[in-house]
Amino acid sequence: MKQILDYFNIPSKAKATKKLKTYLLEKYPLKTSDKKVLKNYTKTIILQYILNQSKINISKYEDDHRVYIEIYIMIIEVTSKDKVKQISTIIQTIFQKPLILIFQHNNFVSLNITPKRVSKTDNTKLVSEESHFTRWIDLQNPTELESEFLATLKINNHPFTNFYDFYKSYEKLTISFNASKFSGLLAQNDNTKEILNQIEELQTAINDTISKIKKEDDIRAKVNLNIELKKLNSKIDDLKGRL
C-alpha cells in the first residue's frame, strides 16, 4: 500500500522525523484538558518534513498580515476519528507556523489545512483562520476521485513562487476535494468555498429539523416540519448544482 507521504514526493533533505508527543505532554505548558486529549486520543505525533528556502526552492512570504517562512508537515496517528478537530486546534495553536496536518487512523487518512494570519492584538503571534479537513480516505481502497486527489498532493503540482501561494494552493485543493463529494469533479469556481459553507449550515438545520420531527407529537406540527425539511433539502440540491 502506498503511504500518504509518498504522494507528496518531497525531497529527502527536507525530512525531519521528530517525535513530538512526549515533548508536548511532558515539557510543553498545555492546559489539563488539552493534555488529556493528546494523551488519550493520539498514538504518535511526528514532524515529518520542514519545508523552508534552504531545503526547497520556494521563497518565504511576509507582509503586514501573513508570515509564511516555512511549512511543517506532520502525521498524527489517532485512536479515534471523533477528536480530530479538537486535536488539530491544539496543534495549530501550539505551532506558530503554517502546518499541513495528516491524521491517520488505521488505513484511513484525513488532511487538515489551516491558513494563519498575524494577530491583530499581537503582531508577534499567528492565529488560525478557517480550518479545512478532507473526508477520510481509505488508502487501501481509494475511489477514483480520491486517487485523483492523492496524485495532486505532489508538491510539483503547486506553485513555487512563495510559501504563501504554495500553502494556499493546498487549501484550494482541499476545498475542491470536499466539493467533489457533491459535484463529482476535482475542480472549483470562485464561489466553491462559500457554497460549501452554506451546505454545511443547511445540513445542520436539516439535522435539527429531523430531530424535532422525531420528538414532535402534534400531527400538524409534524407536517409543517416536514415541509420545512423538504425546503431545506431543495436548497441543498440547488447549491450542489452550482458547484
Residues of the chain with pLDDT below 50 are none
Supply the pLDDT for residue 195.
Answer: 78
Quote the domain boundaries for residue 136.
Answer: 4-183
Alpha-carbon distance of 82 to 102, in angstroms, equals 15
Q: Which three cell numbers stand for residue 56?
A: 526547497
Tell whether 68 and 134 lie within a shared domain: yes
Tell whether 109 and 44 lie within a shared domain: yes
Alpha-carbon distance of 10 to 114, in angstroms, equals 20
Supply the pLDDT for residue 227.
Answer: 87
Q: Enter the pTM of the model.
A: 0.82
Residues 6+ apart with CB under 8 A from 193: 175
Tell whether 166 and 118 lie within a shared domain: yes
Supply the pLDDT for residue 188.
Answer: 67
Tell whether 177 and 198 lie within a shared domain: no
Tell whether 167 and 201 lie within a shared domain: no
Tell whether 141 and 200 lie within a shared domain: no
Tell whether 52 and 21 lie within a shared domain: yes
Q: Per the structure, how many domains does the chain have?
A: 2
Sign of CA dihedral 5, 197, 81, 138: negative
Supply the pLDDT for residue 216.
Answer: 84
* Strands 71-78, 42-51: pairing kind: antiparallel
DSSP helix/strand/coil, 113: strand
Supply the pLDDT for residue 228.
Answer: 86
Alpha-carbon distance of 38 to 103, in angstroms, equals 13
In 3-state terms the chain splits into helix, strand, coil percentages (rounded to 5) of 45, 20, 30
pLDDT, one tens digit per residue, over 105-136 is 999 999 999 999 999 998 888 999 889 999 99
Tell whether 121 and 28 lie within a shared domain: yes
